[in-house]
Structure 1
Amino acid sequence: MSSMINFLIEKGRCVTCWPDANGSTPLHRAASLSTPYNLGVVRTMLQHWPQSAEVCDASGNTILHLLVCRMPNYQEGKNLLKFKDIYTLRNYQNQQGNTPLHIAARNMDIIMVRVLLESSTKLCIKNMEGISAASLIQHHNLLEMLRKRKMTWDECEAAEIANITFLRKRMSILGVEFLLSQDSERRNILHRLLHIKDDSRILKDDFIDFVEQVISSFSELVFQTDLNQDTPVHVLMRNDPTTPVQIYSYNNQHNILSSPLSESGILPVLLELCNQGILIQQRDQASLKGTCYDPPWLVQNVKGNTPLHEALIANNNGLLKRLLRYDQRSAHLINKCDETPLHLLAGCPLYVESLKKEDIKLMVKVNIEAACSIDKEGLTPLLRAFQTGNLSTAAILCTVSSEAAQTPDAKGRTFWHLVINHPSGYYFFRLLRDEALRNLLKLKDKNGNTPLHLAIEGNRFDLVQVFFETWELERKSSSEVKWLVDLLQLQNKAGKTPGDLIGESSCLPPKIERSIEDKHELIGVRSMWGIPTTETKTYVNTMGIIAALLTTITFTAAFTVPGGLIQDKGTPILIGRAAFQVFMISDVLAMSLSMMVLFCLLWIMATGNSKNSVVILDFSISLLLASFYATIMTFMTGLYATLFSVKPWIAIVTLVLCSLLSAHASNPQIYRHQVAYSFQKSYSYFCYHVLALHC
């Protein structure tokens, strides 16, 4: 775009002074371009219209204020101040009273600080806060940094792409002191080299030899921190092990092997070189009095992370044992989120294959207290593992630390409450077999819910089935198994037990239905017809209407008998036929059963016990079903008695159709239970639970 910009400036030079709605001129906008294009556009504008440098933006900043942290190197800064209009701005104060030197010192822009100091900038000017530029320079220790050489842009790029040939050439020109150079963010050459980018082409042997040469020449480089307080070891641990890199050797430079960084074997070698440099520096510190460095393993950056934290965040777990072998104290440090390394290890995703049971046990062993420590989210490492879905790690932590298994989160939920939310039931069954962990199922959250409450409310009936299966297995081996009985009797703050929730559920799977048929001692009485207790009132109203209709029909049929009555006597004409006698008995039975249903429904409304209501409701359904059968029998025997002597085939067809209807209605595929079974169970419950209470 340089030709277009030159053309526009030549046609309208004065436009470079025009501010927009935000108070920025084109010259100010040019400062925000990417380095080094910003300086090229700025120089072009100043050459055509130097007066544009005198215009300030809405905050009172000049172009010199805006170029802080945007100067590519020292020489470019010196060339810029050769413009007379720029040179006169070196002591100019913005609305906050800050000169360009204030801004440069506060942002630790060593290049701009050096350029301004060499241009006779005043150090005693104070801003609105009463702070001088000299105070800022002293506060950030910039004078010591000014004594160090700054890496050029080309050198930074060469270090990042591991261009060892270029770096060796620069070292041959500048000498070994070149290795002490730093960039604008106070990163040394090790910081740059140990950050391996995607698809980097690395000559492995040459790369490792150069890093070894750097560390052996200046071992203190391993201890130096950048603006983010990161040591080179932090940068090394931050490398993603899945990053694709291209590795080749001296003897095989044409056949390049592209593979993940974890398979290249470079990271362990570099980590060992850093450790050797640390040992060398510690040995020198022991023999000589001087600057004492903290071991990089214990150095925490601005986020409070040690190299061990950074390795776990990057899922670089293959180096876990090495880091702990160098210094186990790093496992005790917490970052600014109150996370121990064990928190980060437990939060590793499931696809991390290098995470092994031995690694987790080792982390717990070196810092037992970490298993129970709580981060800012109120989570222990165990709860963090359940939150991320890493159930395998969670299962190991449960067995390794029983104290951690009892620690709840901010909502009072233990790990049992969290495992309910995960689709897999394998680890649930595995943990349920542990008696010590199973006793924690009685712990309630802040709403009074046990894990079994949440499983039923969340329709996790696969886990409910695991409860029953585990109880059955233990009951066969021991006659004193009471843990599930006690668990089903615990109430939440709403006064509901897990047994109540099972009884209220309207979507129990058939497998659960079969499991609880013989477990009434566990969950109380549940309708054998699958009627939820919450819908009892609806069923009572519907059954009352049906029973009343049946009573009316059968009562009317008793006095409007088929064939008519003898006028003088008022007795039925067909009283002597067997079919008519069956008709009368069936009608009486249907009428009596339907009336009995109405009595039972009245008892349901009168009783306040939900279990007794369920028993009576089941008994009422059985009576109503029997009344239906008796009504069908009444209908077909009445037709048979009146038609057989006149039209036998009609009577026979009636018998066949009604028999088929009765057979189909009693099919167990249609109803949940056979009629005989319903009568047996309902009669027993009725006798023991109802008659004993009401008679």
Structure 2
Amino acid sequence: MTKFVHGEDMSSMIYFLVEKGSCVTCWPDANGLTPLHRAASLGMPFNIEVIRSILYHFPQSAEVCDTLGNSILHLLIGRMPSYLEGKNLLKFKEIFALRNYQDQRGNTPLHIAARSKDINMVRVLLEFSTKLSIKNKEGISVASLIQQHNLHEVLRKRKLTPEECKATNKPNISFLRERMSKLGEDFLLSQDSKERNVLHRLMEIKNESHIIQDDFIDFVQQILEKFPKLVCQTDVNGDTPIHILVRNNPDSTIYVASGNRTNTNQNVNDFIFSSLWRSGVLSALLELCNQCNLKIQREESAKEARYDPPWLVQNALGNTPLHEALIANNHVLVRRLLALDRRSAGLVNKCKETPLHLIGGRPMYMEQFKRKDIELMVEAKAEAAYWPDQDGLTPILRAFQVGDLSTATILCSISPEAAKICDANDQSFWHLLVNHPSIYYVHLLLQNQTLRELLGLKDKNGDTPLHLAIQENRFDIVQVFLDTWERERESSRGRHRWLVDLLDLQNKAGVRSMWGIPTSQMKTYVNTMGIIAALLTTITFTAAFAVPGGLIENVGTPVLIERVAFQVFMISDELAMCLSMMVLFCLLWIMATNNRHNSVKILDFSVTLLLASFYATIVTFMTGLFATLFSVKPWTAIVTLILCSLLMLLVHKYLVIKFLIPFKNVIRYFFWMFLRFARKICTKIIKWCTAMARKFIGCCKPKPSNGADGQGRTRQRSVIIV
């Protein structure tokens, strides 16, 4: 049976069902709800998509009401994604006819919208000439409800002024409090050109903002207490304030100071340089939104009304706040959002991506999620590991495609059954793994029996992962596969024929390269290596005659010739030049030979010589500096020696991947501390210079004379400063 998920185009399925039996759209279930009524309870904005499809194929279904007399328009109050969607919905003549329809309590849709302060629907219904004089059974008209809830000012669509927008960007809380005291609490409902209210704009924290943390959080709390439903309000892009909050880059730099509105005159030195995630501002704001959500949920439960929390609201791209937090690489908020509502782990966006797809499709330069975080995501919605995106890739296949082998390996170990799913070309994750250089993860995945059984799968071209490994000259992977299949090959009757086929494929694919260089790209590698070798030759040739310390006049002998470090400098310089020259000769031989087997061997030898030339060049540099500096500044010479030695160690790719990348946050923290220290030093220097300048100006200021001119003005002596 085909599985349909949120975000999938179900128009064809709805048309198929309606065509088979159009009356089915009017049949109520045990609770008196038709399929159209049920569609209204779906999460935004997919409820409108389903309702629009049903109305398009069978518009008469809008005439049926539920057991309480509620029409589809009654049920959509509070669930309309935006003003524009509501306006488009009332263009259906069947929906337009329901604008004045009363339920069993006499309430029209406008009654419900005004009571729940659904400003978008109030505005839409008023624009479509809904009657304001209709009274319900309690004798209350729509006009009195609008006046009672003071919606007149809100309906005027007040726009934020440029000064107010600038104050929300800073954020300048004292200015916003002044505006609220002058214009009233309805000022908080003002919107900008993108239909973002004050809460939307405050949730977007700019880089290098100066924030008085206590005052900022108190003001946001005040907004949510006055208008709690602002946390669910969407802008033109369908974003709630929570979408914007979790979209903030956690590594953004801000200046934070403690204080409140009684202590807003903060000194510049009171602000502390910090990253956004270290300050705790994002977590505190998300907790305020959660408290507001719980309050709304209790109120809606008391009314026995359905309520969709903001964690499940999807914007125009179909992204929930969990999707946005994953895109922003905000690990802390991802864990918190998952704890608040696990259902968000099973929602997909317009690209049919679950949160698991975003975890697996992260670039390598981003900090990877830990195993326990991925396990929580899978536990929240185990089926999400099997769902393909619009490219036909599951989260596991997506991770292998982008090269996030760490996350891919974790997903395979957690959901080995999901690893059996292939892409549109019938390629398993083993086929995709061949394109990545790391052999470590190959050994790790082969430890799982279920995953080992997938090595025999063939793609549309009939190739197994072993075939692709041979064709791509990945003989390190070939060796691992052969070792893994040793028992199967020994028990196979046609093992000799199998080995012959492998040898034939090997001859077609090319000759093995020790450095994994494909023969198809040999020309590119030769050109690049030639440029590098020529540069090294020029550098080392120049260094041999421009020796450190200079030459003895009339003799030409180096001044530092007796020092051991200088002798090492000369030898390493000669070695680096000879090696780089040898690389150039080897590359010429490659261009002159037609034997591919010999070309690959010479190319591998050239790479080895080039690496040795790099090492010799580094030794030349550090010994030259050591010979000239040690007698004058020993500590400088020793530091140079240590740094260059570390550079020689860090040339290895394994060390960079395993040690440097995991400690990038530590390096960033020390960098921030250094900047903070430098800022304090600069501030003190500026203060000292300012004080000295004021003292100097005070000494040079001219003194007034005792006499006065004819007009009563004091005469001043002209002071000439030389």
Q: What TM-score do the two structures reach when normalised by structure 1?
A: 0.49
Higher relative contact order (CA 8 A, sep 6+): 2
Structure 1 or 2, whichever has the larger Rg, is 1
Q: When the two structures are superposed, what TM-score results if normalisation uses the length of structure 2? A: 0.48
